[in-house]
Structure 1
Amino acid sequence: MSSRQTLSAKLIGRAQSVTATHHQPLFGSRVRAGFPSPADDHLDTDVDLHAHVVKHPAATFFVRAEGDSMRGDGIHDGDLLVVDRSLEPVPGRVLIVALNGELTVKRLEHIGQRPYLTASNPRFQPIPLMGQEAQVWGVVTHVVHALGGGRP
């Protein structure tokens, strides 16, 4: 991959309200990432993952990431991205942008007074938006990926 190439995104579909329940159990205690402690033996409540990651169903869609330009933000090749079109694309947010007709995922930044799309992988150069055909599709709100070698 050259330093000019971008992490692309592949459109999967819209987030729709789920009429059937898809709740999974949520333990009442948190899991420590340090020294282990005894866990509670009971479940506190159920959690609907869709309800947790989709705040605006009519404005939310999913895309699959391709490439490694955003791995510094925890976005890896094959990850599922939750994208909300109702959120404002302000500097600092990770966006899905149609850049010259091709979808990409990058962080919006201002360098000096000019807007750029930046990667979180230092191998990739910032992409100036001045003079480019760019349309913001939405703001990435969540990233879903498998741990280890189990990429979808």
Structure 2
Amino acid sequence: MAVVQVEDRLPGSREVRIPIMGHCLCAGFPSPADDFLEGALELPRWLAPNPPATFLWNIAGHSMRAAGIFDRDLACVDRSLQPHHRSVVVADIDGQMSIKRYLVEDGVARLAFDNPDLPLFAVDDVANVEIWGVVRFTIRWHVARAGLVR
């Protein structure tokens, strides 16, 4: 079997460096987040059309499994997008970052785990909530990540 070497960058490539947040994003009940970056990952611009508003977060937990988001996935979050009914969002809940499903039912916004065993809660019921960004996509690792993230 022949090994083909490909250059890291193709001439004229339109890659952008997207920062990786230095703390895992809780896919469950919120956990404290640190305000630092852990590094960056180069992505094609078409995956991250607004680089200054785009961040990558490591996922920790299993509460978003019905959304196809699993422990140790990497979520690409765009802060410039507005959430709509059924969007997957990153929310700052009382100063703690968490990933949730954004639902609007009867004019009331709710955040939900994508796990039927966990409860819904109205955004108004939580003291301080800010929708931090909308998840564009996730990356699932099928082999060891060799120290790339986390």
Q: TM-score, normalised by structure 1?
A: 0.65
Aligned-pair identity (%): 28
* CA distance in structure 2 between the partners assigned to 1:76 and 1:97 by the alignment: 17
The correspondence for 1:128, drawn from 122, 146, 149, is 122
Structure 1: gaps spanning 5 or more residues? 23-48
Residues 40-86 of structure 1, C-alpha deviations (whole Å, 9 max, x = no match): xxxxxxxxx43242111011011111111101111111111000011
Taking the TM superposition and a 5 Å limit, the aligned residue runs for 1:1-150 are 5-6=28-29, 13=37, 49-132=43-126, 133-147=128-142, 150=144
Distance in 2 (CA, whole Å) between partners of 1:141 and 1:15 is 19
The total of aligned residue pairs comes to 117
> Which structure would you say has the larger Rg?
1
Q: 2:54 is matched by which residue type in structure 1?
A: T
Between 1 and 2, higher relative CO (CA 8 Å, sep ≥ 6) is seen in 1
Q: What is the rounded CA distance, in whole Å, between the counterparts of 2:102 and 2:57 in structure 1?
A: 18
Structure 1 contact 13–61 (Cα < 8 Å) conserved: no
